[in-house]
């Protein structure tokens, strides 16, 4: 029987203005239940440490829920600049009780359009994300902010053929070695109106190469309004297309989450995972 993931680990809310006013915790959970999601994670942005207290409003609303649906309190991290770090650390995780972290690059960090440099910068930050022991999931590889391109008058990123196969293989290997899940993201990649059906086809081929290297995958809608939550089903379909078994689908506190430091010495050091259930 085909495994049905029934999870969504990338959802935004209204609390930090990441999403619109429809995205309140009880409404999100109701809609997820209607769609058939049994486990979900709320992951609003943490770009700087200034708004951390706003995340606690999300945590309070999760704790007040009366539901059989498992709801996790997560966070989405962004780099503070090109080749910089994430604004996140173990103390913040402990103090605020984040149960998992997803993260990735949200800018080109380029001053001028250069397709090769564009892809190289993304790839470098993908690997850097995987090697961060506090990040469980690399979000939306090769999603680009359309506004950044439009504002600069740059041509759209429209083909995954710009990404060398060796980059996909290397990412799959590093993700497997560091136990970082690669995200299959519905709204940013698979159903993004900025991308053609050809891009989506190529994107699934890219994910297939990563899967061939033994990486695990996380599934996320990246919904910013209540209607978008249903898009998670597209991510589930892609997981099915990739023939991912249950052990290849990341869940918080699953073996996939046992992050390992990058292997620089020939011996691997497991990073302690705090169980704050």
Q: For residues 129 and 257, which CB has a smaller minimum distance to Zn ion in the complex?
A: 129
Minimum CB separation of residue 178 from Zn ion in Å reads: 19
Burial track 110-128 (b if 16+ CB lie within 10 A, e otherwise): eeeeeeeebbebbbebbbb
Q: For residues 72 and 9, is the Cβ–Cβ distance under 8 A?
A: yes
Among 8, 44, 183, 222, binds Zn ion (CB under 5 A): 222
Q: Which of 144/236 has CB closer to Zn ion?
A: 144
8 touches Zn ion (CB under 5 A): no
Cβ at position 177, least distance to Zn ion in Å: 24
Beta bridge partners of 70: 39
Q: Which stretch binds Zn ion (CB under 5 A): 58-66, 137-145, 197-205, 208-216?
A: 137-145
**What are phi and psi for residue 2, nearest 5 degrees?**
-70, 140
**CB nearest Zn ion: which residue?**
222
- In the complex with Zn ion, the residue whose CB is nearer, 28 or 177, is 28
**Total residues at interface with Zn ion (CB under 5 A):** 3
Only one of the segments 81-89, 132-140, 247-255, 257-265 lies at the binding site for Zn ion (rule: CB under 5 A); that segment is 132-140
Nearer to Zn ion, 44 or 202 (CB): 44
State which of positions 72-91 bind Zn ion (CB under 5 A): 76
Query: Looking at beta carbons only, is 127 or 137 nearer to Zn ion?
Result: 137
What angle, 0 to 180 degrees and rounded to 10, lies between the N-to-C axes of helices 197-212 and 165-178?
A: 50
Window of 115-123, 155-163, 216-224, 226-234 that interacts with Zn ion by CB under 5 A: 216-224
Identify which of residues 134 and 139 has a Cβ nearer to Zn ion in the complex: 139
| Contacts with Zn ion, residue ranges (CB under 5 A) | 76, 139, 222
């Amino acid at each position: 029987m085909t495994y049905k993931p029934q999870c969504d680990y990338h959802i935004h809310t209204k609390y930090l203005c990441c999403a619109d006013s429809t995205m309140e915790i009880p409404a999100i959970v109701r809609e997820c239940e209607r769609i058939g999601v049994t486990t979900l994670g709320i992951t609003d942005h943490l770009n700087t440490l200034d708004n951390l207290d706003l995340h606690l409003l999300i945590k309070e609303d999760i704790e007040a829920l009366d539901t059989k649906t498992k709801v996790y309190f997560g966070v989405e991290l962004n780099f503070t600049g090109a080749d910089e770090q994430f604004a996140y650390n173990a103390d913040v995780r402990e103090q605020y009780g984040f149960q998992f972290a997803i993260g990735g690059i949200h800018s080109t960090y380029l001053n001028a359009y250069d397709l090769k440099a564009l892809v190289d910068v993304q790839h470098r930050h993908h690997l850097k994300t995987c090697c961060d022991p506090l990040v469980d999931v690399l979000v939306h590889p090769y999603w680009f902010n359309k506004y950044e391109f439009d504002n600069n008058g740059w041509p759209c990123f429209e083909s995954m053929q710009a990404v060398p196969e060796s980059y996909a293989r290397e990412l799959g290997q590093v993700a497997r070695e560091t136990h970082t899940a690669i995200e299959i993201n519905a709204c940013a990649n698979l159903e993004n109106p900025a991308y053609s059906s050809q891009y989506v086809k190529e994107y699934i081929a890219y994910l297939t190469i990563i899967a061939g290297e033994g990486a695990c995958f996380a599934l996320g809608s990246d919904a910013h309004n209540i209607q978008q939550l249903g898009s998670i089903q597209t991510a589930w379909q892609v997981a099915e297309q990739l023939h991912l078994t249950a052990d290849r689908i990341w869940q918080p506190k699953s073996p996939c989450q046992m992050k390992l430091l990058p292997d620089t010495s020939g011996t691997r050091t497991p990073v302690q995972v705090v169980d704050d259930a």
